[in-house]
């Protein structure tokens, strides 16, 4: 198994460049009518993209890391566009969207299919990241700054999306960036940001009286741990920060575990009179993982994993593609670890196991695994190749 992250990153990019991989991703993005620029899909990943490198270092497997990377990307895109459409007509090309702290464009590569280039702005503190997204996804780029007071883009935005920034900030920067970003909203503007809830803290971890716990460590080792670490926040804390920025009792909506089934999303509008009831129907979509894949020399293929939905509990079906053949199975295997991780007893029987026999097991087979919810939503779980000489 290859252990060099940079070599694995190049292997992952070789997979991304394959037309069949790009066509597969488009099937998960949205209904074709919602993709205004489907031919523009760019799957190139920057070799320093920490989100992919972190997965590669952990799994040591390009297929697994790439599947995790795009599963999160697809879910984030679905969540962001779902919230956006609660307040704006997707056909309104006058809306201006800012992806703040965009990293190397895990969302932007899909957002570039749903919005026109002239609607999209991106901001990031890493110079090579901002240069990459500007070139790869045709967005207008604004360099960020460690000091919120120094971030002055010279314009306002209708929709500001901030994934996995506030979940890394100490108290002072959490408050300062909230004031900064809310001040950049147009009168009809909406801010959506993710927070790692204090509910996720281990039982032995203390939550300070302020409601924010800040630990000086993160996956971005290039940034000063005094300004970027790992933060856990209570809802009371977030409510107070919003009130300090926009006024007491300013309405907001918390969508629990709405980002990759882990971080909460908070939605706040510049106009306090805007109704947030449209968010009542927010869907997180199905989610899952492939724990084991094995192809024996006698042709026996064994796949197992789990899949569930925080919206509905069980999923309707696991869909498995082996080359061009589609198979299905259901969830029924007890998975107490999933219940513990996601905090939902409905997910107990979320495990699944699939076996079949295939011809020529020494040849590489394309394997694709997805989960379909009772509402018909399709979630990407895994894609890769497998032969009788490989096992994970």
Polymer length of the chain: 392
- Between CA 240 and CA 212 the distance in angstroms is 11
Domain limits, CATH 2.60.40.10, in the chain: 286-386
250-263 in b/e form (b: 16+ CB < 10 A) is bebbebebbbbbbb
- The boundaries of every CATH 3.40.50.150 domain in the chain are 76-281
Over the stretch 307-362, which tens digit does the pLDDT of each residue have?
999 999 999 999 999 998 999 999 999 999 999 999 999 999 999 999 999 988 88
Residue 34 above 80 pLDDT?
A: no
CATH class of residue range 286-386: mainly beta
Task: Please report which confidence band the pLDDT of residue 392 belongs to, taking 50, 70 and 90 as the band edges.
Answer: very low
pTM of the model: 0.94
Q: Are 66 and 16 in contact (CB under 8 A)?
A: yes
CA dihedral 107, 109, 113, 119 (to 10 degrees): 70
Q: What is the mean pLDDT of residues 16-39?
A: 78
The answer regarding whether domain 76-281 maps to CATH 3.40.50.150 reads yes
Three-class SS of residue 157? strand
pLDDT digits (tens, 9 = 90+) for 94-136: 999 999 999 999 999 999 999 999 999 999 999 999 999 999 9
pLDDT in tens, 138-176: 999 999 999 999 999 999 999 999 999 999 999 999 999
């Amino acid at each position: 198994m290859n252990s060099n992250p940079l070599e694995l990153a190049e292997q992952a990019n070789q997979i991304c460049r394959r037309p069949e991989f790009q066509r597969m991703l488009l099937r998960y993005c949205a209904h074709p009518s919602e993709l205004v620029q489907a031919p523009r899909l760019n799957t190139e990943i920057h070799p320093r993209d920490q989100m992919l490198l972190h997965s590669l270092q952990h799994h040591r497997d390009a297929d697994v890391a790439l599947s995790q990377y795009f599963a999160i990307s697809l879910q984030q895109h679905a969540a962001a566009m779902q919230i956006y459409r609660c307040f704006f007509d997707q056909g309104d090309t006058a809306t201006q969207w800012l992806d703040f702290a965009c990293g190397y464009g895990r969302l932007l590569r899909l957002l570039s299919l749903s919005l026109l280039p002239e609607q999209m702005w991106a901001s990031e503190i890493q110079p090579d990241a901002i240069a990459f997204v500007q070139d790869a996804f045709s967005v207008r780029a604004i360099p960020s700054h460690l000091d919120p007071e120094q971030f002055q883009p010279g314009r306002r935005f209708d929709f500001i999306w901030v994934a996995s920034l506030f979940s890394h900030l100490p108290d002072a920067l959490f408050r300062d960036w909230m004031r900064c970003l809310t001040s950049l909203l147009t009168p009809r503007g909406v801010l959506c940001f993710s927070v790692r809830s204090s509910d996720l803290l281990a039982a032995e971890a203390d939550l300070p009286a302020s409601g924010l716990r800040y630990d000086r460590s993160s996956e971005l080792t290039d940034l000063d741990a005094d300004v970027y670490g790992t933060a856990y926040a209570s809802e009371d804390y977030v409510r107070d920060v919003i009130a300090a920025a926009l006024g007491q009792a300013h309405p907001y909506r918390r969508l629990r575990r709405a980002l990759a089934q882990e971080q909460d999303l908070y939605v706040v509008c510049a106009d306090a009179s805007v109704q947030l009831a449209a968010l009542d129907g927010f869907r997180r979509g199905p989610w899952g993982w492939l724990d084991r894949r094995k192809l024996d020399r006698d042709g026996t293929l064994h796949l197992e994993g789990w899949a569930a939905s925080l919206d509905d509990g069980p999923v309707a079906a696991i869909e498995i593609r082996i080359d061009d053949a589609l198979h299905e199975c259901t969830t029924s295997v007890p998975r107490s670890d999933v219940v513990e991780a996601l905090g939902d007893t409905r997910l107990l029987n979320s495990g699944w196991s699939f076996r079949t026999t295939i011809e020529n097991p020494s040849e590489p087979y394309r394997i694709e695994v997805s989960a379909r919810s009772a509402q018909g939503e399709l979630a990407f779980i895994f894609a890769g190749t497998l032969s009788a000489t490989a096992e994970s």
